[in-house]
Amino acid sequence: MTRTLQQLLGLQLPIIQAPMAGVQGSALAVAVCKAGALGSLPGAMLGMAALQQELAALEAASSGPYNVNFFCHQPPQASAAEQAIWQETLAPYFAELGVDQQNLPTGPSRTPFDAETASVLEAFKPAVLSFHFGLPAPELLQRVRRWGAKVLSSATTVEEALWLQERGVDAIIAQGLEAGGHRGMFLSQDLSTQVGTFALLPQIVKAVKVPVIAAGGIADAQGVAAALALGAAGVQVGTAYMLCTEAGTSAVHRAALKSPAARLTALSNVYTGRPARGIVNRLMRELGPISPAAPPFPLATAAVSALRAKAEAQGSSDFSALWAGQNASACREVSATLLTRQLAGLAD
Amino acid sequence: MTRTLQQLLGLQLPIIQAPMAGVQGSALAVAVCKAGALGSLPGAMLGMAALQQELAALEAASSGPYNVNFFCHQPPQASAAEQAIWQETLAPYFAELGVDQQNLPTGPSRTPFDAETASVLEAFKPAVLSFHFGLPAPELLQRVRRWGAKVLSSATTVEEALWLQERGVDAIIAQGLEAGGHRGMFLSQDLSTQVGTFALLPQIVKAVKVPVIAAGGIADAQGVAAALALGAAGVQVGTAYMLCTEAGTSAVHRAALKSPAARLTALSNVYTGRPARGIVNRLMRELGPISPAAPPFPLATAAVSALRAKAEAQGSSDFSALWAGQNASACREVSATLLTRQLAGLAD
């Protein structure tokens, strides 16, 4: 018997606001929680102090459950050879924008869930944790379960859904190809395995016993109804929230989402090293969208960030990761509380 | 006011069986029509005599409307250089299978809708014509309109939907990326423009005034309900029909559809020269799935057909175009009449 998302997570609405690292913090999550849906805080790009601060803000403002999201990748060894290839590939852009190649920012930019993160979370005991790229190590998972957290993770294939079910997740997010941001794929690197929500969702629903949450292309009340008709217990919506007043979406990113350019997205690895869907822009067009020169995730990020900073200072989005799904048509500059009620069909 | 598909086409059910050239003839269409949905006869690979025969069979067996489908591509000039590159690319396979490279079959394999076709159709006056890759020339379109045929065509982007609406189509088939067979794309060759049904359908519904038919990933009653929830006036279903008793699907194709291999499809140009979705097999894996060596559509076909014939005689599907969408999970070996009723939620 598949429970509804409301029953499973203690929500009023079967809606999760997709965690979007780099685009939002606790403010968006709080606004979504206020509507009775599940707001999400993306933890991947937060240091421990920032994470603590954001959790405190969520705790102070929310009475209901909220979700904290983390990546579960294996941090790669930084190979000097791979970094050299990437820097050489980007060299013309460094020259064009006057970026000092000798003083590039370093650091992983996105860290996986680890024991230190678990310790910070323990003080707040968030009701829901969602993961991307699989799951953390069993001992870490046990630790979060000890405070009663429900565990969600993304599957992009039936195989991944079965893998997650075997490891005891409480619900599976079926991430269709339409979805913006990083593909959650973790058992295969072959992009041909990635299928649209209309194909993925019913196949995962048939294959597993746990509730399935639909993600990818869902942007309005009709989309929510369609996903539920396909057997989803709930939906996860990202792109539609990106213009919300509580989102931290940058000016160039907002402009792109509002422009006709938002109709053309692609999966690209040039911003982080892993395929992620964003609006096609100059760097994606000129190097990819998939570039063999990009080092493993998340090592592509640092060098590109330097280009991005310079370009955005000039009002250009040429080097910005303009994450977006294939359906940006319902983005609206409203409060995320209202948007959530609209998604649920409770407001016009 | 968008009419339902039933009103527009005089049907009992909002379902069109997708035309599948090479996989089915009138028998499948007749079985679908019997259930009160719209059966389709694919005309692209039929000579004039065969077309006439199939139309006569449909006319004799069906009391309601049926659809005849054609491609609308510009036949390419056969360039000797391009053919030489393609034959050279295939040479190792010719050697392996003992195909005489000097005596390859020639011919276009798939012909576009033309005046001769219109003349054959005129005697039967089919109630519905559907087109792929755009529309025929205006004078040909006027000719089919003169006998009252409703005209449908596929759009894979909002731009294509607007283009078709301007030219007066009666309904637009929104072909999501999940769909099997040829992508109907005709305004762009860029595969990044192709989006999933969940993203494409609502955007086309918002952009046009004519009824929109959803295609891609729809395989059961829940899928039909979901498409209608997203604003579709009806659905077009292909893959789910491929194991039906009335389909002409080959033995190797049926075996592939029933196997776990059916979960992995890709868009490939190696079978015809144009991107089409099929189950990943040897030729797709080794040359592509997209090969720059493939000549323009439909000229890749002839040489590969020779390989296919030899391989299939040995029970191998290595060189067969195993067309399928991303959701083959609902294929059943039942009558297409029953499957249609199941799609409509009228039978279990």
Give the separation between CA B9 and CA B14, rounded to whole angstroms. 9
Cβ count near B248 (within 10 Å): 14
Residues paired with residue B213 on neighbouring β-strands, in sequence order: B173, B234
Is the pLDDT at B320 greater than 90, yes or no? yes
Please check whether residues A115 and A198 belong to one and the same domain: yes
pLDDT at residue B167, as a whole number = 97
Residue A219 has, within 13 A of its CA and on its CB side, a CA count of 26
d(CA B295, CA A68): 51
User: For chain B, first and last CA: distance in Å?
Assistant: 33
- Selected for mutation to probe chain A from B198, B213, B329 (highest A CB count within 10 Å) is B198
For residue B193, the chain A residues in CB contact (below 8 A) are: 264
Q: Are residues A39 and A134 in the same domain?
A: yes
Q: What is the dihedral of CA B274, B277, B282, B285, to 10 degrees?
A: 80
State the nearest Cα–Cα gap between A8 and chain B, in angstroms. 23
Mean pLDDT calculated for residue range B333-338: 98
As a whole number of angstroms, the distance between CA A40 and CA A57 comes to 13
Q: Does residue B19 have a cis bond before it (omega within 30 degrees)?
A: no
Dig out the tokens for A150 from the structure.
């429900």
Task: Say how far residue B142 (Cα) sits from the centre of its chain.
Answer: 23
Three-state secondary structure call for residue A315? coil
Partner residue facing B198 (CB), from A157, A280, A327: A327
**Mean local confidence (pLDDT), B125-141:** 97
Both tokens assigned to B147:
């006998």
A295 contact B CB<8A? no
Contact A195 B327 (CB under 8 A): yes
CA-based nearest distance B330→chain A, Å = 9
Give the Cα separation of B118 and B104 in Å (integer).
Answer: 31
> Tokens 């002839």 sit at which residue?
B302
- Has residue B309 got a pLDDT over 70? yes
Of B178, B192, B227, the CB nearest to A195: B178
Whether residue A103 is predicted with pLDDT greater than 90 in this model: the reply is: no
Rounded Cα gap, residues A281 and A202, in angstroms:
33
How many Å lie between the alpha carbon of B322 and the closest alpha carbon of chain A?
Answer: 15
Q: Chain B neighbours among A 13-52 (CB < 8 Å)?
A: none
Residue A36's pLDDT is: 97
Query: What's the count of helices (H) and strands (E) in chain A, helices before strands?
Result: 13, 11
Interchain CB distance below 8 Å, B178 and A157: no
Instruction: For residue range B56-91, list pLDDT tens digits in order.
Output: 999 999 889 999 999 999 988 889 999 999 999 999
Range in A105-114, A332-341, B174-183, B332-341 the model is least confident about: A105-114
Average pLDDT, integer, range B156-167: 98
Partners of A191 on chain B (C-beta within 8 Å) are none
Q: What is the pLDDT of residue A1?
A: 47
Q: What is the pLDDT of residues A221-261, one digit of tens each?
A: 999 999 999 999 999 999 999 999 999 999 999 999 999 99
Taking the CA of residue B264 and the nearest CA in chain A, the distance in Å comes to 6
HEC string of chain B equals CCCCHHHHHCCCCCEEECCCCCCCCHHHHHHHHHCCCECEEECCCCCHHHHHHHHHHHHHHCCCCCEEEEECCCCCCCCHHHHHHHHHHHHHHHHHHCCCHHHCCCCCCCCCCCHHHHHHHHCCCCCEEEEECCCCCHHHHHHHHHCCCEEEEEECCHHHHHHHHHCCCCEEEEECCCCCEECCCCCCCCHHHCCCHHHHHHHHHHHCCCCEEEECCCCCHHHHHHHHHCCCCEEEECHHHCCCCCCCCCHHHHHHHHCHHHHCEEEECCCCCCCEEEECCHHHHHHCCCCCCCCCCCCCHHHHHHHHHHHHHCCCCCCCCCECCCCCCCCCCCCHHHHHHHHCCCCC
Confidence band of B206 (pLDDT split at 50, 70, 90): very high
Cis, bond preceding B298 (omega within 30 deg of 0) = yes
Overall average pLDDT of the B136-151 stretch = 97
Element (H, E) at A30: helix A26-34
- Domain holding A99, by residue range, is 79-107+250-323
* ipTM of predicted complex: 0.94
**Segment 133-192 of chain B within 8 Å of chain A by CB:** 157-158, 176-178, 192
Is the distance from CB of A9 to CB of A228 less than 8 angstroms?
A: no
pLDDT at B107: 65
Residues B289, B202 within the same domain: no
Residue A51 has pLDDT above 90, yes or no: yes
Task: For residue A263, list chain B residues with Cβ-Cβ distance below 8 A.
Answer: 157-158, 203
The partner residues of B265 in beta bridges, in order of sequence, read B279
Least confident of A74-78, A178-182, B141-145, B227-231: A74-78
Of A157, A231, A280, the CB nearest to B222: A231
Residue in the structure block whose two tokens are 């000016």? A251
Interface A:B, Cβ pairs < 8 A: 125
**Tokens read off for A186:** 């973790």
Q: Which residue of A has its CA nearest to B231?
A: A222
Strands of the B265-268 sheet, one edge to the other: B181-182, B276-279, B265-268
Query: Chain A residue closest to B206 (CA)?
Result: A329
Mean pLDDT of chain A: 95
Do B97 and B132 have their domain in common? no
Same structural domain for residues A234 and A272? no
Please check whether residues B302 and B216 belong to one and the same domain.
no
Are residues B285 and B220 part of one domain?
A: no
How high is the pLDDT of residue B77? Answer: 85
Contacts with B200 from chain A: Cβ below 8 Å: 326
**One domain for residues B281 and B165:** no
Closest-CA residue to B305 (of B132, B108, B112, B113):
B108
* Residues in chain B closer than 8 A to A216 (CB atoms): 196, 198-199
Single-letter code of the amino acid located at A133:
F
User: Of all residues in chain A, what percent carry a pLDDT higher than 90?
Assistant: 92
Residue B11 one-letter amino acid: L
Q: Do A226 and B227 touch (CB under 8 A)?
A: yes
Sign, CA dihedral A303-A305-A309-A312, equals positive
Q: Which of B206, B263, B329 sits opposite A202 (nearest CB)?
A: B329
H or E element in which residue A268 lies: strand A265-268
The confidence score (pLDDT) of residue B240 equals: 98
A7 touches chain B (CB under 8 A): no
pLDDT value at residue A275: 98
Residue B73's contacts (CB-CB under 8 Å, 6 or more residues apart) are B110, B112, B133, B274, B297, B298
Model confidence at B336, pLDDT cuts 50, 70, 90, reads very high
Task: Report chain B residues whose CB lies below 8 A from the CB of A195.
Answer: 178, 217, 265, 326-327
Q: Is the pLDDT of residue B263 over 80?
A: yes
Q: Is the pTM of this model over 0.90?
A: yes
Query: Do residues A69 and A43 touch, judged by C-beta distance below 8 A?
Result: yes
pLDDT at A2 over 60: no
Mean pLDDT for chain B overall: 95
Structurally, chain B folds into a number of domains equal to 2
Query: A275-302, pLDDT tens digit by residue?
Result: 999 999 999 999 999 999 999 999 999 9
**Residue A107 — very low, low, confident or very high, per pLDDT cuts 50/70/90?**
low
Q: Are residues A103 and A134 in the same domain?
A: no
CATH number at residue B40: 3.20.20.70
> Are residues B196 and A202, on separate chains, in Cβ contact within 8 Å?
no
- List chain A residues with CB under 8 Å of B330: 202
Kindly state whether residues B95 and B67 are assigned to the same domain. Answer: no
Q: Which residues pair with A112 in a beta bridge?
A: A71
Residue of B nearest to A290 (CA): B192
Please list every residue in chain B whose beta carbon sits closer than 8 Å to the beta carbon of residue A329.
Answer: 202-203, 206
Question: A289 and chain B: CB distance < 8 Å anywhere?
Answer: yes
What is the SS3 string spanning A166-210? HCCCCEEEEECCCCCEECCCCCCCCHHHCCCHHHHHHHHHHHCCC
- Asked if B192 and A280 come within 8 Å (Cβ–Cβ), the reply is yes
Query: Using CB atoms, which residue from B178, B220, B229 is nearest to A226?
Result: B229
Q: Write out chain B residues lying below 8 Å of A343, CB-based.
A: none
For residues A148 and A199, state if they share a domain. Answer: yes
Does A16 share its domain with A83? no
Mean pLDDT within B272-291? 97
A272: which 2 tokens? 């982080």
Shortest CA distance from A327: residue in chain B: B199
